[in-house]
Amino acid sequence: MTLVKAYAAQAADKQLTPYSFDRREPGTDDVEIKILYCGVCHSDIHTARNEWGGTVYPAVPGHEIVGKVTRVGTNVSKFKIGDTVGVGCFVDSCMHCSNCNNDLEQYCENGNTQTYNSLSQDKQTITLGGYSSHIVVTQHFVLSISDKLPLEKVAPLLCAGITTYSPLRHWGIKAGDKIGVVGLGGLGHMAVKLAASMGAEVTMLSRSKSKEKDAARLGAKHFKLTTDKDTMAELANSFNFILDTVSAAHDYNEYLGLLKSDGVMIIVGAPSEPTPVSAFQFILGRRSLVGSLVGGVKETQEMLDYCAEHNITSDVEVININQINEAYERTLAGDVHYRFVIDMATL
Ligand code: NAP
Ligand code: ZN
């Protein structure tokens, strides 16, 4: 066992504080990684505060991890000591169900192991995430990171990047498609950059007028204020796709009506409260409401390579680990431009 330093939530209503725990020694297929940067995802907040239920304390969040390989097991062929690598939202899965066999480990039929607050495949230990000095991960779930891009700006690609890239690819978003991105936060800003890079005509749908200039800089052709009733009425039947990244409960019906016939609204934001949806939103215009969870290992590597090739990174504000509680408050207040990333050297 190796003792690692970390930051943990000890209870839903407590701030994160310094914590230490033991990580397993790298096994034959494992890679040990010294963490350099870890992004701060809204899922970290949902989990630390037990908003989705089921949080096991102490909880160490963090699933946008970039670091250097420090040790490898004897079977590890993909990586060597000193390589720059990444770890995203999950660190293991059954590896034999039909989804795992189709590079869709995120939908493992036997339950994948997420990077934090998740049951390991031994069905005993609960995982602890990237707000820590080191992590040990089986090689299949470790990603190669190009040294071409600044690593602190690459870290958020491991969740915000792949969560938006995967549905854009799955639903085949292409040049000329009109897509509305709802919510300009961590996921939203990556959605705008990625959809624009694929040639789509992006409209930012935001409740924050102050983000209009940024939306244009990120690649959105239009900016529409969702709090304005007249604007929303004018937007009826406008989009082929809507990608909804909002973290809090809101009325999906208001957005479904903005789709053209056969339009698809893709939910990636994960509010803790359910929202009722009217049957007429689907019947009128044959519209669909769908969801998507991060992306598989193969697709995550594809996304990282795509971003390196197209020079796409996240807009980040680098923080010290002792600013994490303030970063949570600012994220909740919508005051994030557009991802906090922890410099783990400050741990
Ligand atoms: P974030 O940075 O906090 O961004 C969320 C954005 O949603 C905000 O910037 C804001 O944008 C909008 N928003 C927030 N509260 C709102 C409200 N009450 N009403 C309307 N709009 C509101 O969060 P994030 O890290 O991007 O994560 C977004 C959500 O995705 C979270 O629920 C997270 O758990 C989930 N998630 C899902 C997956 C997946 O695999 N599906 C992966 C990662 C994260 P505006 O100010 O522009 O309106
Ligand atoms: Zn995340």
**3-state SS record for 219-238:** CCCEEEECCCHHHHHHCCCC
pLDDT of residue 26: 97
pLDDT of residue 156: 98
pLDDT of residue 275: 94
pLDDT of residue 327: 98
Q: How close is the Cα of 37 to the center of ligand 2, in Å?
A: 14
For the Cβ of 163 lying below 6 angstroms from any atom of ligand 1, the answer is yes
pLDDT of residue 145: 97
For the Cβ of 334 lying below 6 angstroms from any atom of ligand 1, the answer is yes
Q: How close is the Cα of 186 to the center of ligand 1, in Å?
A: 7
Bridging pattern class, strands 143-144 and 30-40: unpaired
Which ligand 1 atom sits nearest the alpha carbon of residue 184? 47
pLDDT of residue 279: 97
Give the ligand whose atoms come closest to the C-alpha of residue 294. Answer: 1
Which ligand 1 atom sits nearest the alpha carbon of residue 183? 11
**Is the distance from CB of 180 to CB of 225 less than 8 angstroms?**
no
β strands within 102-166, DSSP E = 113-114, 134-138, 143-144
**Mutate-to-test residue for ligand 1 from 38, 42, 181, 244, highest number of ligand atoms within 8 A of CB:** 42
Residue 254 has phi, psi (to 5 degrees) of: -65, -30
What does pTM read for this prediction?
A: 0.98
For the chain, counts of helices (H) and of strands (E): 11, 17
* Measured distance between the N- and C-terminal CA atoms of the chain, rounded to whole angstroms: 20
Q: How close is the Cα of 154 to the center of ligand 2, in Å?
A: 14
**Mutate-to-test residue for ligand 1 from 40, 246, 338, highest number of ligand atoms within 8 A of CB:** 246
pLDDT of residue 148: 87
**Mutate-to-test residue for ligand 1 from 218, 245, 272, 275, highest number of ligand atoms within 8 A of CB:** 245
Taking CA atoms only, the protein residue closest to ligand 1 atom 15 is 248
Q: How close is the Cα of 185 to the center of ligand 1, in Å?
A: 6
Distances, alpha carbon 168 to alpha carbons 178, 179, 214, 257, in Å:
12, 10, 21, 20
Q: Give ion ligand 2 contacts, CB < 5 A.
A: 41, 43, 159
Closest CA to 42 of 301, 266, 271: 271
Q: How close is the Cα of 74 to the center of ligand 2, in Å?
A: 31
**Is the distance from CB of 146 to CB of 170 less than 8 angstroms?**
no
CA dist 5 and 3 (Å) reads 7
Which ligand 1 atom sits nearest the alpha carbon of residue 331? 3
Taking CA atoms only, the protein residue closest to ligand 1 atom 35 is 269
The DSSP bridge partners found for residue 225 are 206
* Residue spans of the chain under pLDDT 70: none
Bridging pattern class, strands 30-40 and 339-343: antiparallel
Question: What's the distance, CA 16 to chain centroid?
Answer: 20
For the Cβ of 42 lying below 6 angstroms from any atom of ligand 1, the answer is yes
For the Cβ of 184 lying below 6 angstroms from any atom of ligand 1, the answer is yes
CA dist 95 and 87 (Å) reads 17
Taking CA atoms only, the protein residue closest to ligand 1 atom 13 is 246
Which ligand 1 atom sits nearest the alpha carbon of residue 226? 48
